[in-house]
Amino acid sequence: MTRPTLAVLFDLDGVLVDTEALITELWADIFEGHGLALTPAEITRLTAGQRFEGVLHALEEQRGWKAPEDFLPMLDDRFNAAFGHVPLIEGAVETLEALRAAGIPFALASNSQRNRLFMKLDGAGLTHWFGPHAYDPSCTGGRGKPAPDLYLHAAAQLGMPAAECVVVEDSLPGAQAGIRAGASVYGLLAGSHHLPDDEANLLDLGVKRVVHSHADLRTALGLPG
């Protein structure tokens, strides 16, 4: 018998909002302007689920490229300008509606910088769904995914142990964070940016299951519709 879902913790990009293709295009333009030639697949692998600092660390480690001093402020400006309108993943609102109707609490845990997190939520019309339960690394002393802190914090703010929560993720760093927190992790590959090996990589990491739409996610969570 499947244990009922007691709480759900969502990632944002690629799970509720379809920003990853936009983000990949933005990264491509930025990288090209700094002499870095990366394919879209390479950009997705490098950036999906990562904070800016993690991307720069990977570039230095993997390619020997060190960012100039003004690079992070430039990234902030470029990314902040990109999120006036944010497309939803199909079925995302229906999932939130079904959770609320079932009395199942939910929260958001994103690696996005705090002001950018709320720009995305506002741009997608999702802010009112989460109220105070939208969390970013500033809530955990700067420790973002793949560390477990964000999901442990979000679960605690709902008054739930992480082991009683389902984490919904689309990236390997995010899924790793949920697994490290002790939650059950479902992979949701419903966005426009996914690579052919994403499902296998998530399953190899240890997610419980992978679904490809919010309708399938609702079924996996035992929700109607």
Q: Alpha helix locations (H) across the chain? A: 20-33, 40-47, 52-63, 71-80, 92-102, 114-124, 127-130, 149-157, 172-181, 198-205, 214-220
- Mean pLDDT, the chain, rounded, equals 90
> How confident is residue 54, by pLDDT bands cut at 50, 70 and 90?
confident
Average pLDDT value for residue range 146-175: 97
Average pLDDT value for residue range 53-61: 88
Q: Which of 100, 139, 97, 104 is nearest to 118 (CA)?
A: 139
**What digits encode the pLDDT tens for the residues 118-139?**
988 998 999 999 999 999 999 9
Instruction: Evaluate if residue 154 carries a pLDDT over 70.
Output: yes
Average pLDDT value for residue range 15-20: 88
Comparing 73 with 186, the larger pLDDT belongs to: 186
Average pLDDT value for residue range 207-219: 97
pLDDT on residue 193: 67
Instruction: Evaluate if residue 1 carries a pLDDT over 50.
Output: no
Residue with tokens 């927190």: 181
Rounded CA-CA distance 111/11 in Å is 8
Average pLDDT value for residue range 155-165: 97
Comparing 25 with 154, the larger pLDDT belongs to: 154
> How confident is residue 3, by pLDDT bands cut at 50, 70 and 90?
low
The strand pairing partners of 10, in sequence order, are: 108, 168
**Helix, strand or coil, per DSSP, at residue 10:** strand
Phi, psi of 179 (to 5 degrees): -65, -45
